[in-house]
Amino acid sequence: MKKPYRVFIKYFENPCIELREAANTLLYTLLVSHGIRVDTSLYIVSMENTWVFHGKELRHLYPQEKSLHGFAKTVFCKNKLLPGVYLVEAIELKGDYCLIYPSINQGYTVLDKPPSILEKVDTLVIVLDRIDSLKLSREKHYCIIYARTYREKPIEYTITSINYLLDTWFGARIRRKGVIIEYEGYYR
């Protein structure tokens, strides 16, 4: 099974005002112990802007609270773009993709095998908000699946649960100290 690219999408009315949650979204989506997920991108959509953070190109993003807060403040409040961060007009997805929604009532867990339909997609789009609040093209959307998160928790828990599920299924690509390391999943 090929490993699909991950795209997380999160909406904030104003990420500068919601800086702590925006910073935590960056932390839990793109960082893993001592590394950055190079197989992941994050779109932060607001009323005025859409930022994309490409894990493969990101630099200067660290998990320490002061550093993370400074990074988020520079991007969202000072409107400065750092390496790997871009302002875009709309969310761009290449190839076929599946939408993944977190759900507390239903969905796949790490105990389940990945659905076979995922073998046909290039990208997994993890929608952390309602789809109608996002500027997302639906022309190549191939399927919708749900990932079980078990209970209402803060966004960090939801993101961690989904990353854990996808890491278990497909593995991950992490850049540590300039070297990209490929981790295998159970179903690759």
pLDDT tens, position by position, 54-85:
999 998 898 999 999 999 999 999 999 999 99
- The pTM of the full predicted model, rounded to 2 decimals, is 0.92
The angle formed by the CA atoms of residues 20, 24 and 29, to the nearest 5 degrees, is 155
Confidence of residue 133 (pLDDT cuts 50, 70, 90): very low
pLDDT over 90 at 86, yes or no: yes
Give me the pLDDT at residue 20, please: 95
Mean pLDDT, the chain, rounded, equals 88
Mean pLDDT of 38-43: 96
Domain 5-88 fold = Alpha/beta knot (3.40.1280)
Q: What is the pLDDT of residue 9?
A: 94
Q: Are strands 97-103 and 141-148 parallel, antiparallel or unpaired?
A: parallel
Mean pLDDT calculated for residue range 134-142? 58
pLDDT grade for 147, boundaries at 50, 70 and 90: very high
Cβ proximity of 35 and 181 under 8 Å:
yes
Q: What is the token pair recorded at 70?
A: 């400074």
Beta bridge mates, 53: 42, 85
Q: What is the average pLDDT across 79-100?
A: 89
Q: Where are the domains of the chain?
A: 5-88, 97-169
Nearest C-alpha neighbor of 161 from the set 121, 91, 107: 107
Q: Is 73 helix (H, G, I), strand (E, B) or coil?
A: helix
Residue 33 has pLDDT above 90, yes or no: no
With CA atoms as reference, report the closest residue to 124 among 3, 5, 1: 5
CA distances in angstroms from 96 to 27, 69, 152, 154, 167, listed in the order given = 27, 35, 30, 30, 20
**pLDDT exceeds cutoff 80 at 91:** yes
Q: What is the pLDDT of residue 17?
A: 96
